[in-house]
Amino acid sequence: MMAWIPVVLLAVPLLGALMLLIAPRALHPVLRPYGLILSAVTLAASLVLVAAFDYGRPAAIQYELDLPWVPGLGMRFHLGVDGISLPLITLTALLTFLCFVYLCWGRGTAREFMNARPRALVFTLLVLEVGMIGTFLALDLLLFFVFFEIVLIPMYFLIGIWGGDGRRAASVKFILYTLLGSVVMLLGLLLVWAQAGTLDIVALNASHGAGMSRSVQILAFVAIGAGLAVKTPMWPLHTWLPDAHTEAPTVGSVLLAGVLLKMGTYGFARIAIPVLPEGAEAAAPWLGAFAVVGIVYGALACLAQRDLKRMIAYSSIGHMGFVLLGFATLTPVGTNGALFANVAHGLITGLLFFLAGAIKERHHTADMPALGGGLLARLPRLGSLLTFAAIASLGLPGLAGFWGEMLALLGAFQPADALPRGLFLTYMVIGGLGAVLTAAYFLVMLSRVTHGRPRAADEAETGPAADTATDAATDAATDTGPAR
């Protein structure tokens, strides 16, 4: 009855992007609110999903739309929502809306938005939203792959055009890594199609690998898992992430951490594990090993960072490690913990990148020692929000960051019967150590940025504050010139 809602979620941003191509001059005067209004409509449609969803049947596909797409190949335009995809769809719509809010009212970014190809920026974000939401709605393997790939090009341009000084190298590295991972994943999807004879994800989930031998399942899981691991990103396929986050504009970092990383972990929950259960069982110890290495590696890398955005980027590697560890346990507890941690990380890290962008705009640097500390004294609201987000991310009990990671560790304490419990107990201990290190690097960051005494007035005159004042005066003089 309500199958039109997934269509609205895709059609609103898609038609909005097409209108920018068809009537660019007519829309130019209203570019500032244009993307904001469209993203608000998309967010409202996602909230209708949340309100009307039947929570008594969370595993059932709801709002289903199934139409022929390419009949000769058996491909169908099959969309639907269940308890796994619903929170991710809403998260995507919310973060995209907040990105447009930030562009409309952010300080430095507002000038960038109006002066640096504003039509192209709105178009890029709308196409990106289509790909992200479509990935979570798709119930056909190749349709999933199409939406999965749509996001790569707009994110490449978002980093390469509106990013920092090293944007070109970061965008090229991003596209090369993700495209290579996508090629490997496509081979795995085609192998599943050839063996199972269908592309329908619902039918594949119901069959639980029937018709595929154990060796085929292992091969397909490794191929699909490798492609998803690049997007997650899983250690050691993570090296594109810090550069992409550091050079991306604030809205790019928010969507990259808040949504794009979730597309990789969502693929494990939607396709790799339920469709290939024997392959998942064989690969789970290895997946858990890479996960806990990523947890510890990400935390140690964060302790060594000076740049605030780069530190938050490395923290994502550790947090995604907990998500992968939850999936590797192959238990309901671990899987639910992974899904919860997915959404919590998107909200918390999105907030952290918004705050890091605000700090960089005010001080023209994200270098923590150069910021000089004392943010709570100079900008108490900004400093308080940063403190809250950091405490949530380090996993304080009672906040969102705690529950997913704790359930992932609990799943490792009692993994699936077919998995070696002693090995997963070791993973649980290492993951617990990573949680302690997570608290350590966030507390170090807060001591460098928010706490302490502000710079003395004479020191501030030659520091970032003076640079900010000089730049503001220069901007004002520049802005008044053309107006005359």
CA atoms of 162 and 114, how far apart (whole Å): 12
Q: Which residue has the tokens 């909200």?
A: 347
CB 248 within 8 A of CB 339: no
CA 309 to chain centre: 15
Q: What is the pLDDT of residue 219?
A: 93
Distances (CA, A) of 276 to 207, 300, 406: 10, 34, 26
Over residues 402-420, the pLDDT tens digits come to 888 899 999 999 898 888 9
CA atoms of 420 and 430, how far apart (whole Å): 16
Average pLDDT over residues 200-211: 86
The yes-or-no verdict on residue 324 having pLDDT over 50 is: yes
Distances (CA, A) of 171 to 120, 241, 249, 266: 17, 10, 12, 23
DSSP state of 82: -
Which ranges of 58-198 would DSSP assign to H, the alpha helix?
A: 86-105, 107-115, 118-137, 141-150, 152-162, 167-196
Lowest-pLDDT range of 58-67, 102-111, 305-314, 381-390? 102-111
CA atoms of 480 and 232, how far apart (whole Å): 46
Over residues 94-115, the pLDDT tens digits come to 999 999 888 887 665 545 555 5
Q: Which two tokens stand for residue 258?
A: 């808040």
Over residues 43-98, the pLDDT tens digits come to 999 999 999 888 888 888 889 888 888 777 778 888 999 989 999 999 999 999 99
CA atoms of 341 and 344, how far apart (whole Å): 5
Q: Which two tokens stand for residue 305?
A: 């960072």
3-state secondary structure of 41: helix
Beta strands 62-70 and 75-81 are antiparallel
CA atoms of 307 and 360, how far apart (whole Å): 10
CB 350 within 8 A of CB 95: yes
CA atoms of 221 and 269, how far apart (whole Å): 12
Boundaries of every domain in the chain: 1-150
Choose among 257, 262, 283, 61: nearest CA to 188.
Answer: 283
Q: Which residue has the tokens 């529950």?
A: 403
Helix %, strand %, coil % for the chain, to 5?
80, 5, 15
CB 209 within 8 A of CB 275: yes
CA atoms of 475 and 479, how far apart (whole Å): 6
The yes-or-no verdict on residue 475 having pLDDT over 90 is: no
Q: What is the pLDDT of residue 162?
A: 83
CB half-sphere exposure, 176, CA atoms < 13 A: 8
The structure's pTM equals 0.87
Q: What is the pLDDT of residue 14?
A: 93
CA atoms of 46 and 52, how far apart (whole Å): 10
Amino acid at 160: G
Q: Which residue has the higher pLDDT, 466 or 435?
A: 435
CB 342 within 8 A of CB 261: no
Q: What is the pLDDT of residue 11?
A: 92
Choose among 280, 269, 266, 278: nearest CA to 209.
Answer: 278
Cβ neighbours of residue 303 under 8 Å, at least 6 residues apart?
437, 440, 441, 444
The yes-or-no verdict on residue 472 having pLDDT over 70 is: no
CB 12 within 8 A of CB 92: no
CB 301 within 8 A of CB 233: no
CA atoms of 292 and 158, how far apart (whole Å): 31
Over residues 156-179, the pLDDT tens digits come to 998 888 887 888 888 899 999 889
CA atoms of 284 and 217, how far apart (whole Å): 13
Using CB atoms within 10 Å of the CB of residue 117, give its burial: 0 to 12 exposed, 13 to 18 middle, 19+ buried. middle
Tell me the sheet residues that pair with 446: none
Amino acid at 137: L
**pLDDT-based confidence at residue 1 (cuts at 50, 70, 90):** low
Q: What is the pLDDT of residue 232?
A: 85
In the chain the first and final C-alpha atoms are separated, in Å, by 57
Cβ neighbours of residue 194 under 8 Å, at least 6 residues apart?
none
Using CB atoms within 10 Å of the CB of residue 206, give its burial: 0 to 12 exposed, 13 to 18 middle, 19+ buried. exposed
